[in-house]
Amino acid sequence: MKLLRVGPQGHEKPAALDANGTLRDLSAHVADIGGAALTPASLDALRAVDLTTLPELAADSRIGACVGAVGKIICVGLNYSDHAIESGMAIPNEPVLFLKPTSALCGPYDDVEIPRGAEKTDWEVELGIVIGKTAKYVSEADALDHVAGYCVVNDVSERAFQLERGGQWDKGKAHDTFAPLGPWLVTADEVADPQDLSLWLEVDGHRYQDGSTRTMIFGVAHLVSYISQFMSLHPGDVISTGTPPGVGFGQRPQVYLRAGQVMTLGISGLGEQRQRTVAA
């Protein structure tokens, strides 16, 4: 299934994309695409629904973040060795973790803000994991049983805030609109192998990132298991799994976003995003 949330910000309706690409209103079956709606039993119930019997939603409706009421966003840094090298950082022996605030969430086609005082705002296309069953101390062998599905994430970053202002990375990762999510949550049963997905990103039509999840240092199952050793993962939590090379920080000379540009990005089978940059 391709699940999504449609409507004005803060008032999105749960929806699904049917086989013909029509948006269908799921409001009669779930309150939102998040939390309990993402458990295995709930997803099984949604699969049994004949989408063609549900009300259509306007094709030009705004699409919001594909998961509602996200509890936490856990991000993985430097999870592609060639990205670590281009960043001038050591290849990690264990996953590098940081948190993004849920206030950074926005829709896949919403404007992305360049923060006030920003100098080095950057892009990062990433595979997002959406949790569907509580995970605490789970083994790697069982980890994928806790995944509801996958989505596209743009881990937008302000490098000067992240790397030059002291402390942890959070300052450069936290601005409003720095976590576009979606357009769809594609349920795990429709993703044959999360370690064989191509992902790409362009700015103003120039392709900067062109990679594959095959080259992750730590794969999806390992990440879910590893993170669950440090914190419980709950239905609706999102893990952003790191970015392949090609970020602006790694260009020679470095290239950063400015207001008025357009980012386009996607992952095979998970859809595409498009954001215009604006001044905050």
DSSP string, 236-280: T-EEE----S--GGGSSS-----TT-EEEEEETTTEEEEEEEEE-
Number of domains the chain is built from: 1
Confidence of residue 245 (pLDDT cuts 50, 70, 90): very high
Mean pLDDT of the chain: 96
27 within a domain of the structure (yes/no): no
Please give the residue range of the domain that contains residue 236.
68-279
196 within a domain of the structure (yes/no): yes
Confidence of residue 83 (pLDDT cuts 50, 70, 90): confident
| % of the chain exceeding 70 in pLDDT | 100
Instruction: Say yes or no to pLDDT of 208 above 80.
Output: yes
Nearest to 198 by CA among 251, 247, 269: 269
Q: Residue 52: left if φ>0, alpha if ψ -120 to 50, beta else—which one?
A: alpha
Confidence of residue 81 (pLDDT cuts 50, 70, 90): confident
* CATH number of the domain residue 202 falls in: 3.90.850.10
> pLDDT, tens digit, for every residue of 84-129?
788 887 889 999 999 999 999 999 999 999 999 999 999 999 999 9
Instruction: Say yes or no to pLDDT of 215 above 90.
Output: yes
86 within a domain of the structure (yes/no): yes
**Which pLDDT score, from 0 to 100, does residue 257 have?**
98
> pLDDT, tens digit, for every residue of 165-183?
998 899 999 999 999 999 9
7 within a domain of the structure (yes/no): no
Instruction: Say yes or no to pLDDT of 223 above 80.
Output: yes
203 within a domain of the structure (yes/no): yes
How confident is the model over 218-244, as a mean pLDDT?
Answer: 98
Better-scored residue on pLDDT, 266 or 78: 266
Instruction: Give the three-state DSSP class for 158.
Output: strand
**Which pLDDT score, from 0 to 100, does residue 24 have?**
98
